Structure 1
Amino acid sequence: MIKILLVDDHSVVRMGLRMLLNNQEDMNVVGEASEGNEGIQKALELKPNVVIMDLSMPHGKDGMSATSELKRLLPEANILILTMHDDEEYLFQAIESGASGCLLKSAPHDELLSAVRSVAAGNAYLHPSATRRLMEEYVGSVKQNGGTGSSFSLLSDREREVLTLIAKGFSNKEIAEKLVISVKTVETHKGNLTEKLQMKTKPELVAYALKKGLLGYGNRGIDG
């Protein structure tokens, strides 16, 4: 059973989400919050599998700040951002804040359910237009850096593993635990990656991993 926490300042939206999610055999809404600080407290208390976080909450802590703080306090949290903004600024901020996925509020119900199941399984999820924007970012960085087509062959197997985990949203500590190496070694691999690929930002690395097929990504999600 996927335990879900809803964080949205509109009670009508929470009610609709709760009805949809609780109607699924594998999902259960275990709590609700109307702003970011309350959402953090509820998440620490309830330990949900997925936190569905509204991005824009004018009263209290906003969704982006809450996501960043919650990932710091509860690194294993799987956070799915809901937003009305189909904008690369918000997309990149969501990735940098540690969100496991980003979905437009206008998305069909089936897509929301797929996104919840994907992030609950520890995978990442991006809506199709977000994927397109990441790919545009990747193409732009390739042109700016004079092409990175041959750079992939320069990466060691370990660096490719680290790149894949970075793109899936894992922190340095989590990557170190998964690969049974030190955090310092992870940082060294990341330094090598950015130097060899000539990429400095996480969105660029995500787009590159996506382009190279390291995430097994289709139009509907990033598989683990």
Structure 2
Amino acid sequence: MHILIIDDHDFVCAGLKATLMERFDDAQISIANNGSNALDILRKGSINLVISDLFMPGSSGGFSFIDLICKNHPKVPLIVLSASENPSHIRKCVAIGAMGFVTKSAPKRSLFSAIDKALSGEIYMPESLIQPMPGLTRIMSEVDQGSEAISGLLTERQLDILARISKGLSNKLIARELDLSENTIKVHVSAILRALGLNNRTQAGLMGQKLASTLASESADNDD
């Protein structure tokens, strides 16, 4: 069996490789530290399983990257191994084609179980999916990994509305600016809260401010 590990941290790759060798001592394991290298390895056609981080710096990771692999290599099962424990992230990864999602805090038996299921064509879902949604502090910390931790869960329209919520605008003012009905804005706000696992509009405003700050930082880094 040929396994591809995709993660931008060398120590994570080394630890994961050692863990996999405990269970699959005859496996061939390749490592890619970014999306470009991963795609090059996948094009060679010898990979039987992909284990990938979700959020990596730059354009190497995120939901779009997971989606790209799943669409271009549908016969190769992919498991996401991420520090995120946000149920929304888990659901989205599975929805776009991942065969499983394992958090980096989970015991290795969870990873082995996910691998067994993925190789047999089944989907592995962690127990955290049925536990309460993560608190605001945890979600805020996830945004530090990159803006897609939040933006990848929302539509462009919802991002527009979130930005205006963060500025303190009421539903009526947002509706006026976007030329939409106030009821439509209410529906979008409810969808934003559900997608991000937030409890109220105040939390959404704080999240919008955090997202704006992260986007500004990413833009500055790209300009350098």
Q: TM-score range by the shorter chain?
A: 0.5 to 0.7
SS at match of 2:81: strand
1:95 aligns with 2:94: yes
With 24-33 and 110-119 compared, the bigger mean Cα shift is at 24-33
Counterparts in 2 of 1:67 and 1:47: CA distance versus 1, 3 Å: farther
Name the structure 1 match of 2:22.
23
Query: What is the TM-score normalised by the length of structure 1?
Result: 0.54
Counterparts in 2 of 1:122 and 1:26: CA distance versus 1, 3 Å: farther
Identity of aligned residues (%): 27
Name the structure 2 match of 1:58.
57
Residues 36-94 of structure 1 show CA distances to partners (whole Å, capped at 9, x for unaligned) of 23212212214322100101111442142221111221111201001111112211220
Name the structure 1 match of 2:83.
84
Name the structure 2 match of 1:203.
none
- Contact 2:7–2:52, Cα closer than 8 Å, also in 1: yes
- Contact 1:3–1:27, Cα closer than 8 Å, also in 2: no
Counterparts in 2 of 1:132 and 1:59: CA distance versus 1, 3 Å: same
Find the aligned partners of 1:131 and 1:50 in 2 and give their Cα distance.
26
- What's the CA shift for 1:125? 0.5
> Which structure 1 residue ranges, 5 or more long, are not aligned?
135-224
* Structure with the greater alpha carbon radius of gyration: 2
Name the structure 2 match of 1:122.
121
Amino acid at match of 2:44: E
Q: Superposition pairs for residues 1-224 of structure 1, below 5 Å?
A: 2-25=1-24, 28-132=27-131
- What's the CA shift for 1:133? 6.8
- Contact 2:5–2:13, Cα closer than 8 Å, also in 1: yes
Counterparts in 2 of 1:29 and 1:108: CA distance versus 1, 3 Å: farther
> Which structure 2 residue ranges, 5 or more long, are not aligned?
134-224
Residues 177-223 of structure 1 show CA distances to partners (whole Å, capped at 9, x for unaligned) of xxxxxxxxxxxxxxxxxxxxxxxxxxxxxxxxxxxxxxxxxxxxxxx
Name the structure 1 match of 2:210.
none
- Contact 2:87–2:128, Cα closer than 8 Å, also in 1: no
Q: Tell me the number of residue pairs that the alignment of Structure 1 and Structure 2 aligns.
A: 133
